[in-house]
Protein backbone atom coordinates (compact mmCIF):
# COMPACT_ATOMS: atom_id res chain seq x y z
CA UNK A 1 0.00 0.00 0.00
CA UNK A 2 1.34 3.42 -0.93
CA UNK A 3 2.16 5.78 1.89
CA UNK A 4 -0.09 8.85 2.10
CA UNK A 5 1.42 12.00 0.67
CA UNK A 6 2.18 14.57 3.35
CA UNK A 7 1.10 18.04 2.21
CA UNK A 8 3.33 20.86 3.33
CA UNK A 9 2.24 24.32 2.22
CA UNK A 10 5.84 25.54 2.19
CA UNK A 11 6.92 22.55 0.07
CA UNK A 12 4.03 22.98 -2.31
CA UNK A 13 4.69 26.66 -2.77
CA UNK A 14 8.34 25.90 -3.52
CA UNK A 15 7.34 23.13 -5.90
CA UNK A 16 4.79 25.27 -7.73
CA UNK A 17 7.28 28.12 -7.89
CA UNK A 18 9.87 25.84 -9.44
CA UNK A 19 7.51 24.91 -12.28
CA UNK A 20 6.09 28.44 -12.56
CA UNK A 21 2.59 27.43 -11.44
CA UNK A 22 2.45 30.42 -9.11
CA UNK A 23 1.23 32.35 -12.16
CA UNK A 24 -1.65 29.91 -12.44
CA UNK A 25 -2.90 29.27 -8.91
CA UNK A 26 -1.10 30.88 -5.96
CA UNK A 27 -2.36 34.48 -6.38
CA UNK A 28 -5.93 33.28 -5.80
CA UNK A 29 -5.37 32.52 -2.12
CA UNK A 30 -5.87 28.76 -2.42
CA UNK A 31 -5.30 26.87 0.82
CA UNK A 32 -2.64 24.20 1.30
CA UNK A 33 -4.95 21.28 0.50
CA UNK A 34 -6.16 22.85 -2.75
CA UNK A 35 -2.63 23.72 -3.85
CA UNK A 36 -1.67 20.16 -2.99
CA UNK A 37 -4.34 18.74 -5.28
CA UNK A 38 -3.03 20.74 -8.21
CA UNK A 39 0.59 20.01 -7.38
CA UNK A 40 -0.05 16.26 -7.23
CA UNK A 41 -1.77 16.32 -10.63
CA UNK A 42 1.13 18.11 -12.29
CA UNK A 43 3.71 15.85 -13.89
CA UNK A 44 7.34 16.90 -14.18
CA UNK A 45 8.47 15.81 -17.62
CA UNK A 46 11.97 14.91 -18.66
CA UNK A 47 14.05 17.80 -19.94
CA UNK A 48 13.67 18.65 -23.61
CA UNK A 49 16.75 19.45 -25.65
CA UNK A 50 16.87 22.44 -27.97
CA UNK A 51 14.93 21.56 -31.14
CA UNK A 52 13.02 18.68 -29.53
CA UNK A 53 9.28 18.46 -30.19
CA UNK A 54 6.76 18.44 -27.35
CA UNK A 55 3.65 17.76 -29.46
CA UNK A 56 2.78 17.58 -33.17
CA UNK A 57 -0.28 18.32 -35.32
CA UNK A 58 -2.86 15.59 -34.87
CA UNK A 59 -1.64 14.54 -31.43
CA UNK A 60 -4.62 14.14 -29.09
CA UNK A 61 -5.15 16.61 -26.25
CA UNK A 62 -3.56 14.93 -23.27
CA UNK A 63 -2.31 17.91 -21.33
CA UNK A 64 -1.59 21.61 -21.27
CA UNK A 65 1.89 22.79 -20.40
CA UNK A 66 3.82 25.40 -18.47
CA UNK A 67 7.44 26.00 -19.38
CA UNK A 68 9.25 25.78 -16.06
CA UNK A 69 12.59 26.32 -17.77
CA UNK A 70 13.39 27.60 -21.22
CA UNK A 71 10.89 28.57 -23.90
CA UNK A 72 9.07 27.15 -26.92
CA UNK A 73 7.75 28.09 -30.33
CA UNK A 74 4.60 26.76 -31.98
CA UNK A 75 4.69 26.36 -35.74
CA UNK A 76 2.79 25.05 -38.74
CA UNK A 77 4.41 23.84 -41.95
CA UNK A 78 2.54 24.46 -45.20
CA UNK A 79 2.27 22.17 -48.21
CA UNK A 80 5.45 23.57 -49.75
CA UNK A 81 7.45 22.94 -46.58
CA UNK A 82 7.62 26.55 -45.40
CA UNK A 83 7.56 27.02 -41.64
CA UNK A 84 5.30 29.67 -40.13
CA UNK A 85 5.78 30.59 -36.48
CA UNK A 86 2.45 31.02 -34.68
CA UNK A 87 3.78 32.03 -31.29
CA UNK A 88 6.55 32.03 -28.71
CA UNK A 89 5.94 30.74 -25.19
CA UNK A 90 8.11 32.01 -22.35
CA UNK A 91 8.91 30.52 -18.98
CA UNK A 92 5.82 30.57 -16.76
CA UNK A 93 3.32 30.81 -19.66
CA UNK A 94 0.67 28.16 -20.26
CA UNK A 95 0.47 26.70 -23.77
CA UNK A 96 -1.00 23.75 -25.66
CA UNK A 97 -4.45 25.34 -25.61
CA UNK A 98 -4.84 25.02 -29.39
CA UNK A 99 -6.23 21.50 -28.90
CA UNK A 100 -9.04 22.41 -26.52
CA UNK A 101 -11.58 23.11 -29.26
CA UNK A 102 -11.07 19.99 -31.39
CA UNK A 103 -9.35 17.60 -29.01
CA UNK A 104 -6.24 17.45 -31.22
CA UNK A 105 -3.27 19.75 -31.65
CA UNK A 106 -3.15 21.83 -34.83
CA UNK A 107 0.48 22.89 -34.52
CA UNK A 108 3.88 21.68 -33.41
CA UNK A 109 5.62 22.85 -30.23
CA UNK A 110 9.42 22.90 -30.32
CA UNK A 111 11.91 23.82 -27.59
CA UNK A 112 13.84 26.96 -28.53
CA UNK A 113 16.53 26.16 -25.98
CA UNK A 114 17.14 23.33 -23.54
CA UNK A 115 13.89 23.36 -21.59
CA UNK A 116 11.67 21.64 -19.07
CA UNK A 117 7.88 21.67 -18.85
CA UNK A 118 5.30 20.99 -16.21
CA UNK A 119 2.57 18.81 -17.74
CA UNK A 120 -1.01 19.24 -16.50
CA UNK A 121 -3.14 16.28 -17.69
CA UNK A 122 -6.23 17.95 -19.10
CA UNK A 123 -8.88 15.52 -17.86
CA UNK A 124 -7.60 15.64 -14.29
CA UNK A 125 -7.14 19.40 -14.44
CA UNK A 126 -10.71 19.91 -15.66
CA UNK A 127 -12.05 17.69 -12.87
CA UNK A 128 -10.13 19.54 -10.17
CA UNK A 129 -11.02 22.95 -11.62
CA UNK A 130 -14.71 22.03 -11.47
CA UNK A 131 -14.31 21.56 -7.70
CA UNK A 132 -12.11 24.60 -7.11
CA UNK A 133 -13.70 27.87 -8.28
CA UNK A 134 -10.46 29.78 -7.65
CA UNK A 135 -8.52 27.51 -9.99
CA UNK A 136 -11.30 27.62 -12.57
CA UNK A 137 -11.17 31.42 -12.57
CA UNK A 138 -7.41 31.38 -13.02
CA UNK A 139 -7.68 28.93 -15.93
CA UNK A 140 -10.19 31.19 -17.65
CA UNK A 141 -7.86 34.14 -17.09
CA UNK A 142 -4.93 32.27 -18.62
CA UNK A 143 -7.03 31.14 -21.59
CA UNK A 144 -8.03 34.76 -22.06
CA UNK A 145 -4.36 35.80 -22.05
CA UNK A 146 -3.70 33.20 -24.75
CA UNK A 147 -6.47 34.71 -26.85
CA UNK A 148 -4.90 38.14 -26.29
CA UNK A 149 -1.57 36.83 -27.62
CA UNK A 150 -3.34 35.64 -30.77
CA UNK A 151 -4.95 39.06 -31.16
CA UNK A 152 -1.60 40.76 -30.65
CA UNK A 153 -0.09 38.60 -33.40
CA UNK A 154 -2.85 39.60 -35.81
CA UNK A 155 -2.32 43.25 -34.89
CA UNK A 156 1.41 42.93 -35.56
CA UNK A 157 0.81 41.38 -38.98
CA UNK A 158 -1.66 44.14 -39.82
CA UNK A 159 1.11 46.75 -39.56
CA UNK A 160 2.17 47.70 -43.07
CA UNK A 161 5.66 48.88 -42.19
CA UNK A 162 8.29 46.31 -41.23
CA UNK A 163 9.84 48.67 -38.65
CA UNK A 164 6.50 48.94 -36.88
CA UNK A 165 6.17 45.17 -36.68
CA UNK A 166 9.65 44.78 -35.24
CA UNK A 167 9.20 47.57 -32.67
CA UNK A 168 5.81 46.16 -31.67
CA UNK A 169 7.33 42.70 -31.28
CA UNK A 170 10.11 43.96 -29.00
CA UNK A 171 7.67 46.04 -26.95
CA UNK A 172 5.22 43.13 -26.61
CA UNK A 173 7.98 40.77 -25.55
CA UNK A 174 9.09 43.28 -22.93
CA UNK A 175 5.55 43.43 -21.51
CA UNK A 176 5.36 39.64 -21.35
CA UNK A 177 8.66 39.45 -19.47
CA UNK A 178 7.29 42.05 -17.05
CA UNK A 179 4.14 39.93 -16.47
CA UNK A 180 6.15 36.84 -15.54
CA UNK A 181 8.34 38.81 -13.16
CA UNK A 182 11.47 39.02 -15.32
CA UNK A 183 13.49 42.14 -16.24
CA UNK A 184 11.47 43.88 -18.95
CA UNK A 185 14.13 46.27 -20.26
CA UNK A 186 17.11 43.92 -20.41
CA UNK A 187 16.46 40.42 -21.70
CA UNK A 188 17.80 37.67 -23.92
CA UNK A 189 15.92 36.64 -27.04
CA UNK A 190 15.40 32.86 -26.97
CA UNK A 191 14.51 32.85 -30.65
CA UNK A 192 16.68 33.54 -33.70
CA UNK A 193 16.27 36.44 -36.11
CA UNK A 194 15.03 33.95 -38.71
CA UNK A 195 12.32 32.70 -36.31
CA UNK A 196 11.30 36.29 -35.60
CA UNK A 197 11.04 36.88 -39.35
CA UNK A 198 8.80 33.82 -39.75
CA UNK A 199 6.60 35.12 -36.93
CA UNK A 200 6.37 38.65 -38.30
CA UNK A 201 5.85 37.65 -41.93
CA UNK A 202 9.12 39.28 -43.01
CA UNK A 203 12.42 38.16 -44.49
CA UNK A 204 15.52 37.71 -42.37
CA UNK A 205 17.38 40.66 -43.89
CA UNK A 206 14.50 43.02 -43.09
CA UNK A 207 14.41 41.92 -39.46
CA UNK A 208 18.17 42.37 -39.12
CA UNK A 209 17.97 45.87 -40.61
CA UNK A 210 15.04 46.71 -38.32
CA UNK A 211 16.98 45.77 -35.18
CA UNK A 212 19.98 47.72 -36.46
CA UNK A 213 17.85 50.80 -37.05
CA UNK A 214 16.37 50.69 -33.55
CA UNK A 215 19.92 50.31 -32.22
CA UNK A 216 21.28 53.19 -34.28
CA UNK A 217 18.39 55.44 -33.22
CA UNK A 218 19.27 54.86 -29.57
CA UNK A 219 15.93 53.20 -28.82
CA UNK A 220 17.38 49.80 -27.98
CA UNK A 221 20.84 48.39 -27.57
CA UNK A 222 21.53 45.09 -29.32
CA UNK A 223 24.33 42.69 -28.44
CA UNK A 224 23.67 39.45 -30.29
CA UNK A 225 20.44 38.19 -28.75
CA UNK A 226 20.60 40.51 -25.76
CA UNK A 227 18.18 43.44 -25.96
CA UNK A 228 18.37 46.50 -23.70
CA UNK A 229 15.50 48.97 -24.08
CA UNK A 230 16.91 52.48 -23.67
CA UNK A 231 13.85 54.56 -24.57
CA UNK A 232 10.56 52.79 -23.92
CA UNK A 233 8.38 55.70 -25.06
CA UNK A 234 10.27 55.95 -28.36
CA UNK A 235 9.91 52.19 -28.83
CA UNK A 236 6.15 52.42 -28.33
CA UNK A 237 6.00 55.37 -30.73
CA UNK A 238 7.92 53.38 -33.35
CA UNK A 239 5.51 50.48 -32.89
CA UNK A 240 2.61 52.84 -33.57
CA UNK A 241 4.20 54.37 -36.66
CA UNK A 242 5.04 57.70 -35.07
CA UNK A 243 7.77 59.81 -36.62
CA UNK A 244 8.66 63.36 -37.48
CA UNK A 245 6.84 65.99 -35.42
CA UNK A 246 4.23 63.59 -34.05
CA UNK A 247 6.55 62.00 -31.49
CA UNK A 248 9.79 63.01 -29.76
CA UNK A 249 12.89 62.33 -31.83
CA UNK A 250 14.72 59.21 -30.65
CA UNK A 251 18.17 59.74 -29.27
CA UNK A 252 20.62 59.15 -32.10
CA UNK A 253 23.57 57.02 -31.08
CA UNK A 254 26.85 58.87 -31.07
CA UNK A 255 29.60 57.53 -33.29
CA UNK A 256 32.22 59.06 -31.09
Q: Which among 5, 13, 15 is positioned nearest to 30, based on CA atoms?
A: 13
pLDDT of amino acid 104:
96
Local confidence band at 16 (pLDDT 50, 70, 90 cut-offs): low
Which residue segments constitute the domains of the chain, with CATH numbers given?
9-153 (2.60.120.10), 159-246 (1.10.10.10)
pLDDT of amino acid 44:
65
Instruction: Flag whether the pTM goes above 0.85.
Output: no
Within 10 angstroms of residue 56's Cβ, the number of other Cβ atoms is 11
Within 10 angstroms of residue 239's Cβ, the number of other Cβ atoms is 21
Q: 171 vs 10, 78, 180, 230, 237, CA distance in Å?
A: 36, 29, 15, 12, 10
Q: Which among 151, 134, 102, 180 is positioned nearest to 37, based on CA atoms?
A: 134
Which of 95-99, 133-137, 222-226 shows the highest mean pLDDT?
A: 222-226
Local confidence band at 246 (pLDDT 50, 70, 90 cut-offs): very low
For the chain, give the percent of residues with pLDDT over 70: 68
Task: Inform me whether the pLDDT recorded for 42 exceeds 50.
Answer: yes
Amino acid sequence: MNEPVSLSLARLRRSCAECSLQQLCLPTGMNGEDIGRLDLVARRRRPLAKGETLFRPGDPLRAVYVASEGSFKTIVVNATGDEHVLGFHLQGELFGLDAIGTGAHRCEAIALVDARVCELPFDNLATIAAKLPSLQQQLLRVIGQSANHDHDHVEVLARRQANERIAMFVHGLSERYRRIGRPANDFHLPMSRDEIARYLGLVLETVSRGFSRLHEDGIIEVHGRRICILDESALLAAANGGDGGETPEPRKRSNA
